[in-house]
Amino acid sequence: MDAAPDYIADFADYITASPSSYHAVAEAARQLEAAGFVRLDEQADWGTAGAPGRGRRVAAAAGASEEPPRTFFVVRDGAIIAWALPEGAGPTTPFRILGAHTDSPGFKLKPKPTIGSNGWLQAGVEIYGGPLLNSWLDRELELAGRIVTRDGREHLVRTGPFMRIPQLAIHLDREANSGLTLDRQRHTSPVFGVGDVSQADLLDHLAGLVEAAVPAKGKGRKPGAGAGAGAGAGAGGAGGAFTAAGAGGGLAGAAVTGADIAGYDILTADTAAPARFGLGGQLFAAGRMDNLSSVYAGLRALIAVAGARGGTAARTAASAGPAGGAGAAGGAGAARHITVLAAFDHEELGSESRSGASGPLLDDILTRISGGLGATSGQRLQAYAGSWCVSADAGHSVHPNYPEKHDPANRPIAGGGPLLKINGNQRYATDAHGAALWATACADAGVAYQEFVSNNSVPCGSTIGPLTATRLGIRTVDVGIALLSMHSARELCHVDDPAALSAAIAAFFAPSA
């Protein structure tokens, strides 16, 4: 695709800015606000904010007439839902939803995290989800996530390169190349220094990042308000995504210490930068592409389609639109649907949380949108009956070294276009109507697609697709890009596929017919 290089560079920036689900949501919120989307607080009375022409107004650009907002978003912890209302939306206007997830497998910091062994300082970590454990060995890792201080403020922090899980030398394990076996407790504790454990405190280090990033007194965010774009990455954060501001505020201006940290959700991330390489630069490697590839594709598509409709995002649509015709996908057809991006947390754990796909978040937001449009409960169900959800999550490319692990007749390959994911046991939600919908979206976007089905002897995983279909009764189709090394600390795709996925999502949001 002609625009793939620009897209992949922007995608790489998004990955770098998103070492945790909380950072991924904060960066998405920043881009949405830059595109004119209005942030709503779940604890506030939205009134008629869901109804075009009746919501509260936003400041217009210089020289332009003031207009009511049509684009909104809500943050709940590590999840974000954003939507764009078409002109003329009513109580039974259906939804077109792109569902994805913000979290990735790795490790999560335990309580009492500072541990040690034989003079080495180590971090106590718990395995998060299903990472490919050996891929995390001998890499410079960072800690990233959110902490809540005693004053109730929530802060995003990231350490930059800080620790490493060292592998045992071959001289001490001559059978390592015959089959590496890792004990999940004893062999996965990262080292971050040497010294006396009683003289070191990992929480003090994290608190030092808060001191550099704390907002001015009175401007912090209370828990539950979501991760804002202004929350800091901390000095030394990879990618330079944060500029310290308001240092010395909060906690009455005192220096923040580990004792001031009341709670935290801190995870690990690989700090190696995303890289494009291979013959003609065809290949792209990075961490967390499962599933930031889908989150970013949906984010770009939503901003582009909202701008093409002439909403508050129009000023930035030209620069934000995805490749392959996504910017042109908006038009007369776009007004028939409310477009929604729903990026959930905790999919890698089963989605059972208040910010996960099994929780009430999406139904809560859709209910409030419908209520703002004056819908009765019956009319809301009418809207659901005409709605669609595309569940986007990374899938598998055929592996050149292990082809026997794949279905003999269905072997999608990286670079062949987005996947249509099919499973006869409903591990994916795709049915015949969903397959037809995705084929049409890809045709409208001018991109190829390919079908994925698992080898009968190698059962596949699942996605948020069946969960959404079950909870809401909305027709759902499962898609994604093809990866090698899924759940590795560093995954691999073809450089064209992320942009192609975004283009197809934009066409789904704004169908031509």
What's the rounded mean pLDDT across residues 30-54?
82
What is the pLDDT, as a whole number, of residue 513? 65
| 263 neighbors 471 (Cβ within 8 angstroms) | no
Which helix (H) or strand (E) segment holds residue 102: the answer is none
What sections of 183-288 are H helices per DSSP? 202-213
Q: Quote the CA–CA distance of 356 and 359 in Å, as a whole number.
A: 5
Model pLDDT, residue 254? 57
The answer to whether the beta carbons of residues 82 and 340 sit under 8 Å apart is yes
pLDDT of residue 65 exceeding 60, the answer is no
Q: Is 24 helix (H, G, I), strand (E, B) or coil?
A: helix
pLDDT of residue 51: 56
Give me the residue spans of the domains in the chain: 4-52+68-103+287-509, 106-270
Residue 305 and residue 147: Cα distance in Å, rounded?
A: 35
Check whether 462 has a pLDDT greater than 50: yes
pLDDT value for 184: 94
| Cα dihedral value 420, 423, 429, 433, nearest 10 | 60
Q: Helix crossing, 21-34 with 289-308: angle to 10°?
A: 10
Per-residue pLDDT reduced to its tens digit, 174-227:
999 998 999 999 999 999 999 999 999 999 999 999 855 544 333 343 333 333
Residue 469, pLDDT score: 83
Contact indicator for 234, 22 with CB cutoff of 8 Å: no
Looking at residue 157, its pLDDT comes to: 97
Helix (H) or strand (E) holding 258: none
Which has more confidence, 435 or 255? 435
Distances (CA, A) of 230 to 77, 209, 213: 15, 14, 9
Asked which of 330-334, 369-373, 432-436 is least confident by mean pLDDT, the reply is 330-334
- Angstrom distance (rounded) from CA 513 to CA 509: 12
Q: Mean of the per-residue pLDDT values for the chain?
A: 85
Which of 100, 93, 80, 7 lies closest to 37 in space, CA to CA? Answer: 80
Alpha-carbon distance of 468 to 303, in angstroms, equals 23
pLDDT tens per residue across span 274-310: 999 999 999 999 999 999 999 999 999 999 999 877 6
Quote the pLDDT of residue 424. Answer: 79
CATH superfamily placement of domain 106-270: Aminopeptidase i, Domain 2 (2.30.250.10)
Residue 450 vs residue 220, higher pLDDT:
450
pLDDT band per the 50, 70, 90 thresholds, residue 332: very low
Query: Does the pLDDT value for residue 64 go beyond 50?
Result: no
In this predicted structure, what is the pLDDT of residue 126?
98
Question: Rounded to an integer, what distance in angstroms lies between the CA atom of residue 312 and that of residue 329?
Answer: 17
What percent of the chain is modeled with pLDDT above 70?
A: 81
Q: How does pLDDT run across 358-407, given as a tens digit for each residue?
A: 899 999 999 999 999 999 999 999 999 999 999 999 999 999 999 999 88
More confident call, 251 vs 333: 251
Q: Please tell me the distance from the alpha carbon of residue 346 to that of residue 401, in angstroms, as a whole number.
A: 31
pLDDT band at 460 (very low <50, low <70, confident <90, very high): confident
Domain 4-52+68-103+287-509 has CATH 3.40.640.10: no
